Amino acid sequence: MAAIKVKAKLKKGVVKVKAMAKHEMTTYNIAEKKTGDRENANFITHLSGTVNGKTVFDMSTSQFLSKNPIFKYKFKGDEFKKGDKLLMTWVDRKGKTGKGKGKIK
C-alpha cells in the first residue's frame, strides 16, 4: 500500500491535486504523554511533488497537522498532459520516507 494516495485532474490548463499521506503524526506533547520523552515525536517535516522530474510542489510542515493529513494544491499544467505521473514524497522527523503516485486525469 502506498504511503500517499494521490488524485490529480487537469482542467483548463490547471492541475488540481488532492493527496492523503498515511502517517501517525505524533506531536511533542502526545509523545511526552505516551512515552515520557518529547524526542519520540514523529511527524511529516517535508512534502514534495514532481511530474516528469520537474518539482511542482515543495513544502515544509510542522507538528500541527492531523493524523493522515490531506493536502490540496494546484499548479499550472500547460507543459503537462493527461496520463503524466505525479510522484509525491514525504519525509518525517526520523528520516523515514513515504511515496505515492497518481496519473493526471
d(C-alpha 97, C-alpha 76), whole Å: 27
Model confidence at 68: pLDDT above 90: yes
Architecture of the domain whose range is 4-103: Sandwich (2.60)
Query: 50 is written with which cell numbers?
Result: 514532481
Task: Give the integer Cα–Cα distance in Å for 20 and 79.
Answer: 25
Supply the pLDDT for residue 65. 85
Dist CA 16 CA 67 (whole Å): 22
Which residue do the cell numbers 504523554 mark? Answer: 33
pTM: 0.89
Q: What is the pLDDT of residues 46-67, one digit of tens each?
A: 999 999 999 999 999 988 889 9
Under 8 Å between Cβ of 70 and 19: yes
